[in-house]
């Protein structure tokens, strides 16, 4: 995987739609945000041979991202989740948002805070040409709400990648009320290139998965807080009785309890439904820095922080 750091730049200029190559469209991705999801999406893309510019404001975060992406790529290939043959996509990391020029798709993958997502999308849409696909990797914020921030709402769609995206091969493709047909088609083509099954859904807080999942996690945490069952018993019931591969609380630890709380707040604010108000146990764990797998402890212990 080639990585020349901030020295390698794209020449500013008009971004173009993917060109038609002998095997389909040629994609050039820009991913904004080198957190858990940004790294996972980048791993998925370079693993399928797509070039990626990964943008983050923090040099240290980018430095760690290079190592994490290489490790994730190695693991996914070893497990047969990414192609073992073929070229790895070129990876460039940069702190300059201007380096997204030349991308055919820009994927926003910052923290699940609506004002921050809107700011990033607004700045990105000002740097790329009309027709460049803009994607919000959001788990809960409605696409039409974010469309207010961009110059061309018809170029914006949502893709809710699951975590980790290089292991889970299905994603929600969210069609906002102002999403153009060209954008939905381009997003579908990108997902197919990435080996993903894109399920097209309508817009609304939490879409399908998180509208259901986040409430389930919240209720599971309330059950633990009420002393009705332990985290292990809650998850065992879902696995044994309902056939779930992973229980709701282990799933929450994988997502990150901080991200769960952010998503619940988005849902609560936009629906007014008290069932989405983050329960005290979740808030206490986040306040203590126990976010789940990435910190080594959440509802379960993981023996040290993870990538």
Together in a domain, 176 and 85:
yes
Are 99 and 53 in contact by the 8 Å Cβ rule? The answer is yes
pLDDT of residue 20: 55
Together in a domain, 239 and 113:
no
Residue 300 lies in a domain: no
Together in a domain, 163 and 226:
no
Residue 301 lies in a domain: no
pTM: predicted TM-score of the whole model, two decimal places: 0.87
Q: How many domains does the chain have?
A: 2
pLDDT of residue 16: 47
pLDDT of residue 222: 98
Alpha-carbon span 32 to 35, nearest angstrom: 9
Together in a domain, 104 and 187:
yes
Range of the domain at 47: 5-201
CATH of the domain at 270: 1.10.1040.50
pLDDT of residue 100: 97
pLDDT of residue 26: 79
pLDDT of residue 245: 94
pLDDT of residue 303: 81
pLDDT of residue 195: 97
Residue 305 lies in a domain: no
pLDDT of residue 12: 34
Together in a domain, 15 and 149:
yes
Strand-by-strand arrangement of the 170-174 sheet: 91-94, 52-55, 29-32, 105-108, 133-136, 156-161, 170-174, 197-201
Together in a domain, 213 and 273:
yes
> What are the average pLDDT values for consecutive 10-residue runs of the chain, which has 307 residues?
38 44 74 96 98 96 96 96 93 97 96 94 96 96 96 97 95 98 97 97 97 98 98 98 97 95 96 97 98 96 72
Residue 296 lies in a domain: no
Together in a domain, 174 and 272:
no
């Amino acid at each position: 995987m080639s990585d020349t750091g901030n020295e390698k730049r794209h020449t500013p200029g008009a971004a173009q739609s993917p060109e038609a190559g002998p095997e389909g469209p040629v994609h050039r991705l820009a991913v904004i945000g080198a957190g858990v999801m940004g790294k996972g999406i980048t791993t998925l893309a370079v693993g399928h041979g797509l070039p990626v510019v990964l943008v983050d404001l923090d040099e240290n975060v980018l430095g760690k991202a290079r190592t994490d992406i290489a490790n994730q790529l190695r693991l996914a290939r070893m497990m047969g989740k990414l192609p073992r043959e073929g070229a790895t996509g070129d990876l460039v990391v940069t702190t300059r948002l201007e380096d997204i020029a030349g991308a055919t798709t820009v994927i926003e993958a910052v923290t699940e805070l609506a004002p921050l997502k809107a700011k990033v999308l607004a700045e990105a849409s000002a740097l790329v040409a009309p027709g460049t696909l803009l994607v919000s990797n959001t788990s809960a914020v409605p696409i039409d709400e974010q469309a207010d921030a961009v110059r061309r709402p018809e170029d914006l769609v949502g893709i809710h990648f699951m975590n980790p995206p290089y292991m889970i091969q299905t994603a929600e493709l969210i069609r906002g009320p102002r999403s153009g047909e060209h954008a939905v088609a381009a997003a579908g083509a990108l997902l197919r290139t990435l080996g993903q099954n894109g399920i097209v859904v309508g817009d609304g807080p939490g879409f399908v998965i998180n509208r259901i999942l986040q409430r389930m996690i919240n209720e599971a945490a309330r059950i633990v807080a009420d002393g009705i069952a332990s985290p292990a018993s809650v998850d065992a019931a879902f696995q044994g009785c309902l056939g779930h591969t992973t229980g709701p609380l282990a799933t929450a630890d994988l997502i990150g309890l901080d991200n769960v709380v952010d998503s619940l707040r988005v849902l609560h604010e936009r629906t007014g439904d008290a069932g989405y108000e983050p329960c005290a146990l979740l808030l206490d764990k986040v306040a203590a820095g126990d976010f789940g797998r990435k910190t080594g402890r959440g509802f379960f212990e993981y023996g040290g922080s993870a990538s």
